[in-house]
Amino acid sequence: MRKKRKAGLPRTGIIRDFDKKTIGVKLTLAVVYIICAVIVIVSIFPIFWVFMAGFKDLREFMTSTAIMPEVFDFVRYVRTWNQLNFLSNYINSFYVILGSVISALVFNGLLAYGLTILKPKGHGIVNKLVIGSLLIPTTIALVPLFINIQNFNMGGFFTPLWLAAGANAFQVILFKQFFQSLPPSILDAAKIDGCGQLSIFSRIVMPLSKPICVVVTIFTVNGVWSDFLLPYLVLGVGRWQTVMVRLFVFSTQQTINNDDLMRAVVFSMIPPIIFFFFFQKTLTENITTVGIKG
């Protein structure tokens, strides 16, 4: 007997249950599954190869073409970890991520709130400037940004990186699109109850905007963790260097071997993989919700 479908959860989609009885649909599904499996294998293989290469010593790495190592020796990973002193770089990167996420949610959300809900005089010009800033290449904007950082003597710490995350035009547009879907009656009721604009933003708008906040957090975490150039220019190679900066400095050392570099790359990939593994369901659900509401 077929299992009874859960109440309140109707099965929807392009292909329905009775469509699967036809041979054409079955063949199409088989082809789609095969293509998806190939895409997954191609996507995962580089990560798997780098992880396996980390178990090899220098001789085996330079001479052997086999994917699997001769011996699974985790001592080599421990030695590279201690050589890199990666724990302090992990902590630095997490500081940068935490401050950047807060800045992205607060500052980008406030600007979007003002352009969408408050709409002060001249908001149309600001809105056009925000959209127009998307046309400016990041590398071009990096030069005046770095000059301003030096002029304000803000180099050597995480503050410029936090503020840079709070001035993201793409995320402002994401917030704007979501705020437009909020019921105006809720905001009007809050005004009648005596809430100020900041109270409405912090107590009503942001809690209702959990899906877009999750999406912005995803983009911020991914961008901050993989960013190299701006942290390298701002933080240098001192005590506050992030994981990506440390990885670059480590790769330029004269005594570095390719097998040690592979293990260092594995250390840089572990946090994003763990983040996606534990939050993949939440990420998918919230991205889908934002796509529907937007």
pLDDT of residue 228: 87
pLDDT of residue 292: 46
Same domain assignment for residues 243 and 261: yes
pLDDT of residue 173: 92
Domain boundary among 77, 100, 120: 77
Q: Dump the DSSP string for 99-168.
A: HHHHHIIIIIHHHHHIIIII--TTHHHHHHHHHHHTTS-HHHHHHHHHHHHHHTT-TTSSHHHHHHHT--
Q: Confidence class of residue 102 from pLDDT cuts 50, 70 and 90? A: very high
Q: Which two tokens stand for residue 197?
A: 């604009």
Mean pLDDT value across residues 259-264: 81
Q: Give per-residue burial for 169-181: e unless 16+ CB within 10 Å, then b.
A: bebbbbbbebbee
Provide the residue range defining the domain that includes 23: 17-77
Taking every pair of Cα atoms in the chain, the longest distance, rounded to a whole number of angstroms, is: 75
- Could you tell me which residue, 43 or 5, shows the higher pLDDT? 43
> Is residue 154 situated within a structural domain?
yes
Q: pLDDT tens digits for 197-214?
A: 888 888 889 988 888 898
Same domain assignment for residues 174 and 235: yes
- Does this model's pTM top 0.85? My answer is no
Q: Confidence class of residue 294 from pLDDT cuts 50, 70 and 90? A: very low
Q: pLDDT tens digits for 157-188?
A: 888 999 989 888 999 999 998 998 888 888 88
Please classify residue 17 by burial: count the beta carbons closer than 10 Å to its beta carbon, then call 0-12 exposed, 13-18 middle and 19+ buried. Answer: exposed
Same domain assignment for residues 103 and 131: yes
pLDDT of residue 284: 64
In this predicted structure, the answer to whether residue 39 has a pLDDT above a threshold of 90 is yes
> Is residue 4 situated within a structural domain?
no
**Average model confidence (pLDDT) for the chain?**
82
CATH number of the domain that 145 lies in? Answer: 1.10.3720.10
